[in-house]
Structure 1
Amino acid sequence: MSDRLLQATNLSIHGEGVSIAPIAFTLARGGRLTLLGETGSGKSLVAQAIMGILPIGLGASGELVIEGRGYAAADGASRRALWGRRLALLPQEPWHALDPTMASGAQVAESHRFLGGLGRRRAREAALGDLAGLGLEGADRRLPGELSGGMAQRVAFAAASAGGAPLVIADEPTKGLDAPRRDAVVRLLAATPERGGALLTITHDIEVARRLGGEVILLRRGRVVERGPAEQLLSAPRSDYARRLLDAEPARWPAPPPPNTTGEPIVEASGLAKWRGGRELFRDLDLRLKPGEIVGVVGPSGCGKSTLGDLLLGLTALDAGEVKRAPGHRLAFQKLYQDPPAAFSPHWTLARLLEDLVRRHRLDRAAIAPLMTRLGLDRALLERRPGEISGGELQRFAILRVLLMEPRFLFADEPTSRLDPITQRDTLALLVQLARERHCAVMLVSHDPALIERVCDRRLVLGGEEAALASESLDAQAV
C-alpha cells in the first residue's frame, strides 16, 4: 500500500475570468497541508477540482493520484465513487450541505448508516456521540434552520466525517466559531492524520494554520506566493505578501479613534429577555445605540447573539422587555446575515439581483460601482450567480447590498467571517467609516475578541452570568 494518499501534478483551473496557475503537492499518510490566502485566491476551487465539483463554466487540468489510482483532473465524475468513503469534503457553507427538512441528528446518523455501514441503532448512538463531542447536546432533534450558523457548521462537519474517509478536505472549517469551538474542531481535524489519514485544509485563519502545523501553501490571485513548514512560514515569512498577511491579524490592528456620537438613540431596549427551546438566552438586558456608534457583541456559539439582533429589528417576538426604534424611512433598519448564501437567491446573477433591488426600492444605481471598488470586488463577478463566487466575495456583496439602502441601524452578524485578515481589516475599516459618515448605528457580532476591541466603541458580552453585568456597564457608558 502506498504511503501517498493524494498527489496533484500540474493541477490548474480556468474559465470565465478564473485562472489558477498549475500547483503541485503530495499528501502522505499522516500528512497535513493547509492552503492559506486571501478571499478569492482560488483555495476553495482547488478543493472543488479535487472533488470534481467545479462550478459550471470552470474546468480543471492536470493529474491526480488518490490512493495509488490515477485520475484526470478534468474528469470530475470519475471520483464520485470515492465521496464519503475514501474522499470527504467538509463544506464551507453548511446550508449547501444539510437537508433543511431533516433533523440534525438524523443527518449525521444517515452518514454512519450508508457510509460507515452501521445499523440503525448504532448509527443513532454514534451520531449522538459525534454531536456531543462538538458541544451540540440536545441539537439532534432540531432542524438546521433552528441552529445558529456556528452550530449548523458543526453538524455539517459531523455528517461529512462520519464515513471515516482517510482523505479529508476541510474548506474553512472554523469560520464563525469562537476560540474554544475552533480549537475543538482543529483537534477533530487533526485526528484524521493521527490515525493514518491525510488532511487538506483551506482557511484564511492564520491561527488555524498554526495549530494544524504541517505544510502551508500561501496563495494569492491563483498563484503560489510561498510554501513551507507552517512553523517557519508563519513566524519568519520570506515574501512581502506573507508579512502583510500576518500583520493584518486583528490583534495587530491599531486602536480605534474615540467615537464622536451625538443625538438621540437610534435603538433603545430595556429589560429584554428571550428563551429558546426551554433555555434562557438572556434576561434584563438594557442597551442603547446612538448615531455613528459601533457596539460589539461577543459570546459562544448559540448564546443568542443573532437572536438579539432579530429582537432589535423586530424580526422575532420578545419574551419580555421593550424595544424603541427612532423614526426613519422603511429601509432604515437592516441586517447583514451570518450566512450570505441563505440571503441570496441562487438562480440569478448578482447583476440581476442588484438591479432588482435598485428598481424595487428606487435606490441610487450609480452608487454600486464606487462601493464595489471600495470593497475590492471585480465587476466581472456581477455576471456570476451567488454559488459561483467565493464565500468571501459573496460576503462583500452582502455588505454592498445593505449599504446601498443607507440604513440608520445595521445589525452585522459576523460580516467578515469568510474574509482573510487583509480584506477583513479593509472591509471593516470601510464599514466603520461609512457608519460614522452616515450616522448609522452598528451592532457588530464576532467571535474574535481582538477584532471587537480594535473596531468597536463598546462591547456587550452574552452567555452565562456575564451578560446582564455587561449590559449594565454598556448602558451606563451610553447615557
Structure 2
Amino acid sequence: MNAKTETVAEIENLCVDIDGRRIVDGVSLRVRPGTVTALVGASGSGKTTTGLALLGEYPDGARVSGEVRVPEGLVGYVPQHPGAVLNPARRIDALLTDIARAQMRHLPRRERRAAAKERVLKALADAQLPDTEALLKRYPHQLSGGQQQRVVLAQALLLGARVVVADEPTTGLDPLTKHHVADQLRSVARQGIAVVLLSHDLDVVRALADEILVLRHGQVVESGPAERIWLAPRHPYTSELLAQCPECATEERGDPGSTVLHLTHPGLQARHGRSVVLRVPELTLRAGECLAVVGRSGSGKTTLGRCLAGLHRDHDGTLTLDGSPLPRSLRTRTREQLAAVQYVFQDAKAAFDEHRTVLDQVARTAVRLRALAEADARAESLTTLTGLGLTEELVRRRPGRLSGGELQRAALARALLARPRVLVCDEITSGLDAVTRRALLDRLARLLHDRNEDLSLVLITHDLDTASLATRIVVLDDGELVDQGPARQVLAAFDRRGERSGAVTT
C-alpha cells in the first residue's frame, strides 16, 4: 500500500463551543504521511482551533465533541511566534540535547551522549538549521524569527513527531524568509512526516499544499486536492479567497495580447555621464501584461524604467509605442504619448507639491493630459482616490499631512487619471507595511483584470512577493539583462537561499 494512502491523524465531526458560541462546527479531516494539508480561511475561521485539536489542546472553558485520532504517535507544533515556546534561559544546544538524551535512555550513559549528538545534528539538518558552534551557543532571543522557527521544528523532529502543525508560519516574514520556510516544510514532508499548514498566505499554500480545506465561520465550505481547488473552486467563498491571490488573478487573464511597448534592435544602452550603466538588447511589453523588473540595488532597474518613461534620455536605442516611434525625452513627447506612459515614483512625497492639496494635483493630470474640464477632472479624481481607500477629507489636505502609504496611493491615482497604456511603478511597495502593501498589490491586480488589454504594467522591484504579481519577469544584474521568462519559471530558478545565482538579492 502507498504510504500516502494511510492516515496518521484524523478529525471527525469536531465541534468546539465557547460561551455558547460555536467556533468550530463539524470539521473533519484526514492527514496522510508525506503530504501537506492546508487549512485556509480568514482570521476567526477556526483554523488554529482545529490544528491545536490534533495536539489535544482547546481554549479554556471550551465544550468539545467529535473525535480526534492520532494513532501513530506525537504531533509537533510550530507556532506563529516560536520564541514564546523556547526557554529563554537555555542555549540552543542545551534545548535540543536534553530532548535527544531523553530519547536515548535505553542506551548506556557513555553511548547516550554520542547518540544524542548524532540525533541533534540530524534534526538540525532536517530543519535546515546550520549546526555552527556559534549558533548553538546562542540563546533564543539572539536568533532571528526564522531561526527560532527552525529550532522549534528541530525539537518536534527530535521527539519523533509523525505530524507537524505549522500555524501561520510565514506571517510577517519577508519574501525570502517565506521561501526558506516553504523549503523547510517541503523537506519535512519528503521525510514522510505529515504537515498540517494553517495559513491565510495563499502564495505559500499554493507552493506547498497537496490537500486544502477552506474554512469559514468554523465550517469547512470546500475541501479537496489542491490542484482541483486552484483550477475549479466550487464554493463562492473559495473563489473570493483565490481572487485575493495576485498570482491566481494573473494566470486567469490568459495570454497577453499585441505588442504595446517595444525596444527594437540593437537595444538600449544607457549612460550616466561617460559610464554605461545599462545594456538591454531587447524588451517587449504586451497588451494586458504585467512585467516585473527585478534585481539587486544598483542593477539598473530604475534606469530602465526611467528610459521607458522618457525621464532618462541619455541612451541609445529605439522605443516604439503601438508600433510608432516614442521619443527618448518626455520633453519631445506629445500629450497623447505623455498620457500613454505614466511613471509612479518610489518617493511619493517628493513627487508632490507641498503647497497644493492632493486632490488638486491629481485632478491636474486629467486637465493637462486629457483636456477635461476642471470640475469633471476633480470628480473623476475623487472617485479614483476613494477607490484606493483615501477619504475625501484626507485628499483635500496638503501632502505633508498624509502618510507615506497614503501618498503612494495618491501617486498611483494621479497616474491612473491619465488613462495610460503603460504604467511604470518604481518600488512602490517598499517602505509600506504588510497590510498596505498587499492592498496596493491587490488593487494593481484588479486594475489589470478590469482594464483587460487597455493597461500594461511594469513593476520595478526587488521584492519577490511583489514580482509574483507579474506575467513575466526580467532580471537585471550589474546593468545587464541576465534572464527573462514566465514569472513562475524565473521564480522557480531561485535557489534555497532565495537567490537566483546571485542575480537577485533582496
With normalisation by structure 1, the TM-score equals: 0.49
With normalisation by structure 2, the TM-score equals: 0.47
Structure number, greater radius of gyration: 2
| Greater RCO, 1 or 2 (C-alpha within 8 Å, sep 6+) | 1
